[in-house]
Amino acid sequence: MSILANILIGLIALLHVYILVLEMFLWDKPAGLRAFGQKKEAAAATKVLAANQGLYNGFLAAGLFWGLSLGAAGNSVKIFFLVCVLVAGLYGAATASRKILFIQAVPAAIGLALLLLS
């Protein structure tokens, strides 16, 4: 079960790298506009805020990769960062878009459950 947990954690980390790229570099480009359902004008007005948000997603990814690099000794690091992803996903689902629940929070909850069961 730990291999499955680590694979899912790696995928969650990669997802957050992808979100970093979307928010920091593609926010006002076609891919970013599609991903976040933004209009060009609104994206231009919020570009700096989105880049800041993207940086935080990068920190979540870095923490998960760090935990993975430590192997079994990194379980507490993985738990901490999965809980951070879960809380961020729940908050995002409550305040921004319900789809964040399924994109971010649910995978983090599953990863956390798999990790705790392994």
Contact assessment for residue 20 and residue 61, using Cβ atoms and an 8 Å cutoff: yes
Question: What's the pTM value of the predicted model, to 2 decimals?
Answer: 0.93
Would you state the pLDDT for residue 76?
A: 97
Specify the pLDDT at position 58: 98
Q: Tell me, what's the pLDDT at 95? A: 95
| Per-position pLDDT tens, the chain of length 118 | 699 999 999 999 999 999 999 999 999 999 999 999 999 999 999 999 999 999 999 999 999 999 999 999 999 999 999 999 999 999 999 999 999 999 999 999 999 999 999 8
> How many other C-beta atoms are found inside a 10 Å radius of the C-beta of residue 74?
20
If phi over 0 gives left and psi between -120 and 50 gives alpha, with beta otherwise, what is residue 38? beta
Domain boundaries, the chain: 2-117
pLDDT at site 39: 95
pLDDT of res. 73: 96
In contact, 117 and 6? CB cutoff 8 Å = no
| pLDDT recorded at residue 50 | 96
Nearest to 56, CA basis, from 16, 101, 86:
16
Contact present, 5 and 118 (Cβ < 8 Å): yes
Amino acid at 21: V
pLDDT at 45 (0 to 100): 96
